[in-house]
Structure 1
Amino acid sequence: MKKASKTLRIIATALGALLLLLAGAALVLESAWFRGWLEDQASRQLGREVTIQQHTIDWGAPLTLRLDDVRVANPDWAEDPMAQLHELSVRLNPRELLRGRITLERIEVVQPVLTLLRRDDGTTNIDDLIQGEPTEEREEPLWPEAFNIDDGQLIYRDAARQVELDVAFDTPGESFEELSANVRGEGVVQGESVVFEGLVHLQIEQRRGAVEGLQGRIGEGELRGELALDLASDEPYLLARLEADAIDLDSWGLFGEADATGEAAAATAEAGAAEENEAPWDYRLTRGLAWLETFEAELDLDLGQLSYAGQTLHDLAVDLTLEEGRLDIAQLQAHQQLDGEAPRALNVQGWLEVEDERLATDLQAQFDRIDLTAALAPFGVGELGTLDGTLNARVLDGALLFENTALDYQAPHWELALSFSADSVAEGVHLVGDGSYEGESFTYDLQIGSLLDLTDPQAPYRVSGELTTRDTLLWVDGSAVQPFALESVEGSARLEGPTPAELTALTGINLPDLPPYRLAGRIHYQQGQLDITGLEGSFGESDVAGDVSLHFADRPQLVATLVSRELAADDLLPMLGMSPSTGAGEEASAQQQQWEAEEQRADILFPDREWNLEALRNTDIQLDYQAHNVQAEHVPFESLALVMELEQGVMTVEPLELGLGDGQVSASWVMDAGHTALEGDLSLVARQINLSALLDEAGLPDVARDTLGVIGGQGEFRYRGSSMHEVMAGLDGELELAMSQGWLDIIAAELLPLNVANALVAALTGEGQVQLECTYVRFAAANGLAELDEFFMATEIAHFEGAGAINLATEQMELAFQGHNLDPTLFTGNSPVELVGSLREPEVNVLTPELMTRGALSLLGAIVAPPLAILPWIDPGGGEQVGMGCERALQEFQQ
C-alpha cells in the first residue's frame, strides 16, 4: 500500500512538473518574446523587416496560431509596407509537432493588402525576394494543405508603363495544391480605363496556372476568354482563347517609336552583322525559328480591332497550335488599316517546322497590299515595303517548290519595285516578273534549280534566263551558291543594249557612254567582285575583247584589259557627250541619234551636254587598252594604245600612243573631276609621220609611191569645263605642225569635208592636184580663241601665207589665204581666199575686188588683226621671195 502510494506520488509529481512545463511553455509562446522571435525568423527568411502587432494561440486540436496586423516592409525607396495582413491564422498538426515535424494544415488570411511597385528604371519592390536560390537562412518554404484568402487586395503601380491597378481577390478555401481565387480588378493603363474579373486556378508545386471566365473592358473594348500556362514540363505550354472588341497596344506603351522604325533593333544587330552575314542564309533562317522547339501553345484569337505601331488590324482571327516544334496555322487573317487609307487584307494557312536544322513548310498566303513595315514593327526589322499577291510555297526534303505564286513587292525607300510569278516545273522553279530599282524598270524570266539544300551552303544551283532593263538585255546560264543571299555566281553571260551608261545608276559604277553594244563572256561573282573573262563583243562599228573585273563596294572599282581589232574612232565620241556617225550602216542608240539631230539643227560640233562628274568621282578605274586598226574620218590613224588610271576623281592617261603613217603621236593627259568643273592638261607630240603611208591609207597608192613627205607636230593645252562646249570655249594652249613635201589636195581632203577641200584648192591654185614642198602651221589659243599665228605653204607653183582665227566658243572661223605665184605664166589663181562660217559647215569665198570693196573682211578684223594686211594683194610674180621659205619654216618648228 505504501509502495503504491509512493508510485502515485511520483506520477503526480511528474504530471505536475509536465503541466508546469507546459504551462510555462504556453506562457512563453504567448509572450512578447516569442512574438519577437517570430518577427526575427520571418525577417531572416524574407530579408525584410516583419512586424506583428499581436498574436494568440488556440491550444485546442488542431493547434492554431493567430497573428494580427502583420506587416512586411518595402525597400527603402518605397514608403508603404509591401504587405499588410489584418489577420493570419496558421493551423498546425499537434501530433506531427510532437514528432518534431511541422505540418501546416491550413492557412487563412483576412484582408491582406499587397503592394507591387515598378519604377521608371524597371526595378521592382520584390526583386530581392524572387532572385537567388534558398540559403540556410532562407530555406524552402512550407506549403499548407489548405489555404484561404478573405477580402484580399493587390495594388500594382508601374511608373514606367503608366499602369495603376487595384485588384480584389479571395479564395474558396480549397487545397493549396489546387488553389483557386476569384479576382476582380480595375485601374488605368496608359490613360485607358481597365476593368476585369475571372477565376484563377494555381497549382504552385506543379507550376501550372489558368484563368477561367475572364471578362473585362479596356477602354471601350470588351474582352472575354481563358488563359492557361504550364511550366512543369521541359517545354512550357501556353493556351490562350480570347475575344475582344478593340485593343490598343499603342496606348499601353508596348511599342515605342524606335520599335516602329526598327532603329533600335538595327543598332543592336549591327554589332554582330559581320558574323551573322558569314552564316548561310538557310542556317540563319532555321536559327531564327529555333524558338519553335522551346515551348508548345494553342492560340485562338478573335479581335474586332487591334491597334499597334501606328496601324490598326480589323477582324483579326488567329487559330494556331505549336506542338513538338511544328507550327500549324489553321487560320491567320486580318484587315490592315493605316491612317487615311483603304483596308488591306492578309490571309495565311499552312505549317512549318525545323528538324535537324532543316526547314520544312507548306504555306498558302494571300496579301492585299500589306504594309510589312507596319505589320512587323514590334520585331524592329525596319523599313520593308508592301506585299501584294498570292504565295503557295513548300520546302520538303530540301526542295523549294512554288505553285501558282504571283507577288508584287514595293519598297519606295529603296526605290525598288518587284513583281514576279513562280511555278515549280520538272527542271526547277520558273520565275517571271518585272520591277524597278532607283527609277530603273526591269523584267526577268529565270529558271532556277529545283533543289535548295538548306544544309549545304556550298551547293551550286542552276540559274538561266534573262533580265531586261529598258533596252538592255542580260542573259545568263550558270549556277549560283546561296541564290537568296547571292553568295557566288558562275557561268556564261551575254549583255547587249543601246549604251553601257544606262547601267551606271543600277550598278553604281561609272560605265562609259558608247554606241549600241553586244558583249559575251564567262562570269564569276563572289564576295562583291564580278570577274568577266574571255569577253568578246562589239560597240558601234568596233569590236572588243579582254578581261574585266568589277568590285562592288562603298567605292566601286573597275579593272580592265581590252583589245580591239577594229576601232571606229567616232564610237568613242559619246563618252565626250558628242554624237557618233548616224548615217546608213552606222550603229547608234536612239538617244545618240537624237543628239546628232540636235547638233545638226544647232550647226555645232561641241555640244553643251554636261558630263556626269559625280560618277567620275565615285568610281576608280584601271584600264589597259589597245586598238590595232583605227578608222577615223579626216585623220587616218592606224593604232591606239593607252593606260588609264582613274582614282579619287583624278584621271591620268599615260602613255597614250596613236599610230599614224608609220609614225607615232604620243600624248600625256591628266584630268581632275574633283572640282565643280573638269580641269585638265593635254600634251602631245607627233613624230615622223610618213605622208606616203597616209596617202596609201587614203587609197592613193600610185601617188604614195612618188611621195617622200614627213609630218611632225606638238601641242600643249589646258582646259576647264563641265561639257565639251565649256572646255572648247575656254581652251588655252598652242599647236604647231610642219610637213615636208606632200599633195595639197590630198591633205585638204583629209582635214576638211570633200566639197570644201576641192573648192579651197581650186580657189587657191586653179589646179586639181598640187604637189607641196613644205608646210608650217601654228595656232595659239587663249580663252577659246585660236589664232592662226603662222601659216606658210610652199608648192611647185606658188608660196601661200594665211592668217585669221577660230572662235571655239561660237564655233565660227574666219581664215584668209593668199597665194604668190612663182611664175606668172603658170599660176593665175592669185586672188585672196577666205574660209569662213561654222566649223561644221565652212564656206570658201574668193575675195574679188568687188567683195573687198564691200568690206567682206570686216568681220575678220573684229576677231584678230586683219590677216590680209600682211599679204600683198597685187602680185607681179616672184613668189619665191614671199613668206619665210621652207628652210626657215622647218627651223621654226624645230625650235
Structure 2
Amino acid sequence: MVAKTARLILILVATLVLLLVLAMLLLDSEWAKGLLEDQVSQRLDNREVMIGGLDIDWGFPLGIHLQNVSIANPDWAEHEHMLELAALDATIKTGQLLLGRIGLERLNLEQPVVHLARREDGTSNWAALRSEEKSDGPPVVPDVINLSDGLLTYQDATLDADLSVEFQTRGEPPGEHRLEITGQGRFQGRPFQLNAEGGAPSRVLEEDANYSIALQGNLGELQISFDGKAGDLLQFEALQGQLQASAPAGADVTAMFGQPALSIPAFNLQAQVSHDEQAWAVSDLTAQVGESRLAGSFSFDPDAPSVEVDLQLERVDLGELLEPQGYSELGVLTGEVDAGFTDGALTINESNLTYDAPDQNLQLQLNAQSRDIAGLESQGVHLEGSGSRNDQPFSFDLELGPLLDLTAPEQPYPVKGTLISEETRLHIDGTVMQPLELGAIDVQVEMEGPGPASLNRLTGLELPELPPYQLEGRVRWDKQLLRLTELQAQLGQSDISGDVRLRLSDQRMLWATLRSSRLDIQDLEPLWLATDIKDEDAGTETASDQIFSDEPLGLEPLQSMDAQISYRAESFNSRSVPLNDVSLELELTGGVMTLEPLQVGVGSGEVTARGRLDAQELPLEGQMDLSIKQVNLSPLLRRAELEDVAEDSAGVIGGQGDLTFRGRSVDELMASLDGKLELAISGGELDMLVVEALGLDVGEALVAALAPSDKIPMRCAYLRLSADDGLAELEQLFVSTADANFIGGGTINLDTEQLELAMESHAKDASMLAVDSPVQVQGPFSNLQVSVVSPELLARGLATVIGAIVAPPLAILPWVELGLGEDSGPGCRQALQEFESSGQR
C-alpha cells in the first residue's frame, strides 16, 4: 500500500507540472497559480493545496519554478500536511512543445516531505489519492529526476509501525542520478533499519523499465538483503533478484509476522526470487537452520491461492527445531517433498522421506502420495514404508484423510491401514479427531501375533511370553477415557470377550465386564511364574529352603487405580485343577479391594471366596472368608495326571475358613495369619491323602508307622486349625477307616516355617495296629521328619497334644455328603453313625 501511494504521489507531481505548463501557456500570473491549486485540489478530494510562489523562465529551454508547495492532511492526522515541497524546478523540452507535445527534460525536487498515516480502524490519509479508474501511468515522464533531502514517514496503528525514510539522488552529469534511501524506525515493536540504492528515479515511472535495486535491512535481529531488478518497482511487477535472509538463534522471527512466537535456531537462506502477474516464485533455494539444511524451490499465487513446493531435505534436525516445544528427543529427517496447494486442496506428489532417531534406535522410510480414497470427496494421502526400532523391523501401509483436515476442530479424520512387525499384524479402520493433538479416537482394531513378547524390542516394554493371540474390537478415546468394546480375543486355547473402560484423568479407574467360554490356565502361567534366582558371579542357580517369599508385594496398582471388574468363565482348564463356571465380582476403591465374591466350580462342587484387601497404607491388611462344598477329588487328581491315585482316592472335600492377615510380603502375611480353618473329606484312601499332603517320602513313612497296610480305605477325615499371629494350632484331627480311628494334634508355625504334628491310632481290632505308640512329624517345611514317639515322651505330655477321640461335628455333612466320586465307599455320614452307636461319642 505504501509503495502504491508513493507511485501515486510521483504521478501527482508530474501531473502538477503538466497542469503548470498548460497554465503558463495562458498567463504567468496569480490567476494561473490559483487555477493550478484548484485543479490539483479537485483531484485530491478537495484537500487544501498551497503553492507559495510560481516563476517561469521563458528562455531556452523553458523553465518552471515552484516554491513552498503543500497538500493538507485530514484533521485527525498528526502532521498538518501530507506533502510538503520546498522547491520544484522543471525544464520543458521546447522542441516537443513546438510539435504540440509536452516533454520534461529535467525535474528537480528539493526537500520533498511525505507523511502517511493509518488509524486502527483502517482509515488512511492517502485514500483520496486512490482512483477507481485504472491509470495507464503518468501523463509525462521526465528524462531526469533529481531529489534532495527527501523524507517519507509512515505511521500505522494496525501494524504497530512508525517508520522514517530519507531519500535523495546522487551522481554527476551526464550520467544518471541514482536513488539512495536510508530508513529507520520500529515495526511490530522491533527496530527497523533500511539502506537501499536504485537506478534513476525517472525509470520508476517507466513501464517495463527493468529498474535495478539493491537493499539491505534489519527488522529486529532479522537481516535481509536483495539485489535485483523490477519492471515496476512500486507494484513489484516483473521482480527478480537474489534474496538473502538470516537471524541469530533465539530470534522470534515468526512473531514479526503476526504468528505465534517460536524460538528457532540461527538460520541463513539464499534464493532467487521473482514476481510476475501476482505469482511469486522462489528457486535455487538453499537454507541452513541450525544444523538443518534444505534446498529446492517453491511458488505461490496469493490471489488464487495456490502453492507448489519441491524441496530436498538434506538434513532436517527435528529435535533441534522443536526443542522449545519439548521435543528435543526427535531425530533427523531427510528426503524429497513434492507438494502443491490449489483449489483449496493440498496435493502430495510422490515424496520420499527418511527419519533417523538414534536416541530411540528408530529408523523409518516412507513414501507419501495423494490419491483418491473410497468414501472421501477430496483426495487423501497414502503412506507406505518400513523401518525398525531397537533393530526389530516393521512396515506399514496407511490411508489418511486430506492433510488440510488435520486441524479441522470438529471433523473426524479418517485413518485406515495395516502395520506389520515380523509375524505380528495390526489393522485399524476408523477416525481421529484433531490428530495433531490426539483429541479423540474411534477405530476398529484387528491384531494377531505369535505372542506379546515378540513386540518387546519394538515397543521397549517387557510384555510376557504368552501364546499366539488374535483380537478384534472397537477402540474409542475421548476426554481421557479409553473404551474397548465388542472385544473378541483368542489367546492360545483361551478366549475372552466383553467391554473395558479405562479413565486416565485424576484417579485412574478401570471398568471391565468380561467372559470366557474357555480359560486355559497354561496360557496365563507366564504372568505369575517366578524365575530361578541366579548367582551372577558364580553363574549358577541358587535355591532357598524358604517356602514363603519375602519379596515385597507389588501393591502400586492397588494404590494408583480404582476398578470394577466382573468376569465369568464357563470352563477353567488347568493341569492340576479342573474348574468350571468361574465368576468374579471385584471392586477397588482408594486402595481397598473387595471381592464379592469369587465363585469357582471344581470337581462337581463349588469354592466361594469373599474378602477385603486394604492397601491404602503399608502394611497390607486383608480378610478372607472361604467356603468349600462337595468338591470331588477324583477329577482333580486325574487332571494332575495321577490316574491311579484318582481311581483309588475317590473322595469328596469340603470346609470353611475365616482368616485375617497383614504384611508387605507373602512371608509377612503368613506370619501374621489369624483365624480358623475347617476341612472334611469323605471317602478315599488315607495313604494317598497323606502322600499328597506331606509329600511322597514323608507321607509313606507316616503311613507305614501308623498302619500295617499301604492301602487304607478312608471313610471320613476332619481337621480344625486355629491361627493366632502366624501360629496355627491343630485343634482337632480325626480320620476314620474301616479298622481304626486316627487322631492327632500339633502346631504349624507359619513364621518360622516349622511343623510339629503327632498322631495315634485307636484300632477297632487291636491286632490290626502296626505300632501302639504315637507317631510324630516335625521339622522345617522343606525337611520334615517322621518318628515313633517313645513312652517317655508320651508321659511328658504329648498325649495332651493329641487329645481324646472326638468325632467331627455333624455340620460337616453338607460339605461332603453329595457328589461322591466313583468307588468312594462309605463316607462321613456312615462313619459318624458307627462312631455314635459304638458309644465313643
User: Normalised by the size of structure 2, how large is the TM-score?
Assistant: 0.63
Aligned residue for 2:124, secondary structure, equals: helix
Q: Deviations over 1:42-79 (max 9, x none)?
A: 99977xxx998x9345599999895649697899997x
Per-residue CA deviations over 1:339-361 (Å, capped at 9, x if unaligned) read xxxx443344688999999x998
| Deviation of 1:501 (Å) | 11
Matched with 2:174 is none
Take 1:207 and 1:382, find their aligned partners in 2: how far apart are those partners?
52
C-alpha deviation, 1:566, in angstroms: 5.3
Q: Distance in 2 between matches of 1:57 and 1:215?
A: 37
Q: AA paired with 2:530?
A: S
Pick from 570, 574, 582: which aligns with 1:640? Answer: 582
1:773 is matched with which residue? 716
State whether residues 617 and 673 of structure 1, in contact with CA within 8 Å, keep that contact through their aligned partners in structure 2. Answer: no
Whether 1:129 aligns to 2:124 is yes
Partner of 1:150: 148
Secondary structure at the residue paired with 1:828?
A: coil
Task: Give the Cα–Cα distance (whole angstroms) in 2 for the partners of residues 55 and 401 of structure 1.
Answer: 66
Q: Identify if the C-alpha distance between structure 1 residues 164 and 352 changes in structure 2 by more than 3 Å, giving closer, same or farther.
A: closer
Q: How many Å apart are 1:657 and its aligned residue?
A: 0.8
- 1:561 is displaced (CA, Å) by 2.7
Write out aligned runs for 1:591-670 (5 A).
Answer: 600-601=543-544, 603-606=546-549, 608=551, 610-611=553-554, 613-614=556-557, 617-618=560-561, 622-631=565-574, 633=576, 637=579, 640-644=582-586, 651-670=593-612
**In structure 2, how many angstroms separate the alpha carbons of the residues matched to 1:257 and 1:618?**
47
C-alpha distance in structure 2 between counterparts of 1:113 and 1:356, whole Å: 37
Closer, same or farther: CA 709–893 of 1 in aligned 2, 3 Å: closer
- CA–CA distance in 1 between the matches of 2:319 and 2:512? 39
Tell me how far 1:845 sits from its aligned partner: 3.9
Q: Which residue of 2 aligns with 1:885?
A: 807
Q: 1:40 to 1:224 in 2, by over 3 A?
A: closer
When residues 702 and 776 of structure 1 are mapped into structure 2, their CA distance, relative to the original with a 3 A threshold, is closer
Give yes or no for contact 1:482–1:488 (8 Å, CA) kept in 2. yes
Question: 1:757 and 1:729, CA in 2 relative to 1: closer, same or farther beyond 3 A?
Answer: same
- Shift in Å, 1:828: 1.1
Q: 2:732 is matched with which residue: 768, 785, 791?
A: 791
Query: Does structure 2 conserve the Cα–Cα contact (< 8 Å) formed by 1:399 and 1:452?
Result: no
- What CA distance in whole angstroms lies between the structure 2 residues aligned with 1:557 and 1:323? 63
Which residue does the alignment assign to 1:800? Answer: 743
Amino acid at match of 1:885: A
1:433 Cα deviation after fit: 0.8
For 1:153 and 1:232, the matched residues in 2 are separated by 17
2:355 matches 1:408: yes
Structure-2 change in CA distance of 1:455 and 1:730 (3 Å): same
Q: Is the 8 A contact 2:558 2:588 kept in 1?
A: no
Deviation at 1:833, TM superposition (A): 2.0
- Given that 1:745 and 1:769 are in contact with CA atoms closer than 8 Å, whether structure 2 keeps it comes out as yes
Alpha-carbon distance between aligned partners in 1 of 2:661 and 2:346, rounded to the nearest angstrom: 64
Say if 1:620 and 1:649, in contact at 8 Å, map to a contact too: no
Rate the CA distance shift 1:889–1:849 in 2: closer, same or farther, 3 A.
farther
> What is the RMSD computed on CA atoms of the aligned residues?
6.6
Matched, 1:419 2:372: no
Letter in 1 for 2:497: G
Question: Tell me, which stretches of 5 or more residues in structure 1 are unaligned?
Answer: 1-21, 94-102, 118-122, 173-179, 266-307, 338-342, 583-589, 592-596, 854-867
Q: Counterpart of 1:714? A: 657
The one-letter code of the counterpart of 1:872 is: A
Aligned pairs for 1:238-257 (under 5 A) are 239=239, 241-244=241-244, 247-248=246-247, 254-255=253-254
Check if 1:182 corresponds to 2:179. Answer: yes
Compared CA separation, residues 133 and 59, structure 1 to 2 (3 A) = closer
Tell whether 2:314 aligns with 1:367.
yes
Per-residue CA distance 1:153-178 (angstroms, 9 max, x = gap): 34679999999865233599xxxxxx
Structure 1: distance between partners of 2:804 and 2:689: 22
Report the counterpart of residue 579 of structure 1 in structure 2: 530
Pair 1:171–1:256, CA change in 2 (3 A): same
Residues 686 and 873 of structure 1: is their aligned pair in 2 closer, same or farther, counting only changes over 3 Å? closer
Report the Cα distance in structure 2 between the residues aligned to 1:328 and 1:806, rounded to whole angstroms: 89
How much does 1:623 deviate? 4.3
Q: Which residue type is aligned with residue 470 of structure 2?
A: A
Render the CA deviation track for 1:189-215: whole Å, top value 9, x for unaligned: 868986443348699999999973314
Change (3 A) 1:127 1:347: closer
Amino acid at match of 2:514: T
Cα distance in 2 between the residues matched to 1:648 and 1:694: 38
Match of 1:563 among 516, 519, 522: 516
Please tell me whether the aligned partners of residues 114 and 153 of structure 1 are also in contact (alpha carbons under 8 angstroms).
Answer: yes
Instruction: Report the 3-state secondary structure (helix = DSSP H, G, I; strand = E; otherwise coil) of the residue aligned with 1:748.
Output: helix
Q: In the alignment, which of 465, 468, 472 is matched to residue 518 of structure 1?
A: 468
Verify: 1:816 aligned to 2:757, yes or no. yes
**Is contact 2:250–2:263 with CA below 8 Å preserved after alignment?**
no
Alpha-carbon distance between aligned partners in 1 of 2:214 and 2:309, rounded to the nearest angstrom:
35
Contact 2:511 2:564 in 1 (8 A): yes
Partner SS state of residue 830, structure 1:
coil
Q: Please, which moves more after superposition, 490-499 or 690-699?
A: 690-699
Query: 1:517-551 CA deviation, whole Å, 9 max, x = no partner?
Result: 2211444556675556542232xxx6234355566
1:116 and 1:125 in contact (8 A); partners too = no
Distance across 2 between alignment mates of 1:830 and 1:75:
128
Is the contact made by 1:351 and 1:363 (CA closer than 8 Å) also made in structure 2? no
Q: Which moved more, 1:611-620 or 1:699-708?
A: 699-708
What amino acid sits opposite 1:537 in the alignment? L
Q: Deviations over 1:96-155 (max 9, x none)?
A: xxxxxxx9x9997532445789xxxxx97997535978999xxx9x98867975321346
1: CA distance between counterparts of 2:563 and 2:744? 48
Equivalent of 2:495 in 526, 544, 568 = 544
Equivalent residue, structure 2, for 1:689: 631
Call closer, same or farther: CA 1:332–1:530 in 2, change over 3 Å.
farther
Alignment of 1:275-290 (within 5 A): none
Instruction: Give the secondary structure class of the aligned counterpart of 1:833.
Output: strand
The count of aligned residue pairs is: 720
> Superposition pairs for residues 143-292 of structure 1, below 5 Å?
149-154=147-152, 167-169=166-168, 182-185=179-182, 195-199=195-199, 212-216=212-216, 223-226=225-228, 239=239, 241-244=241-244, 247-248=246-247, 254-255=253-254, 264=260
Match of 1:846 in 2: 787
The aligned residue for residue 447 of structure 2 is 493
Tell me the CA shift for residue 682 of structure 1: 3.3
Render the CA deviation track for 1:457-505: whole Å, top value 9, x for unaligned: 999997445226xxxx521467667999697655753133255996998
Shift in alpha-carbon separation, 1:872–1:442, aligned structure 2, 3 A: same
SS in 1 for 2:450: strand
Deviations 1:773-799 (A, max 9, x none): 3312224253xx242252322334343
Mean CA deviation greater in 380-389 or 743-752: 380-389
Q: Please identify, of 757-766 and 212-221, the stretch whose mean Cα deviation from structure 2 is larger.
A: 212-221
Matches within 5 A, 1:44-63: 55-56=52-53
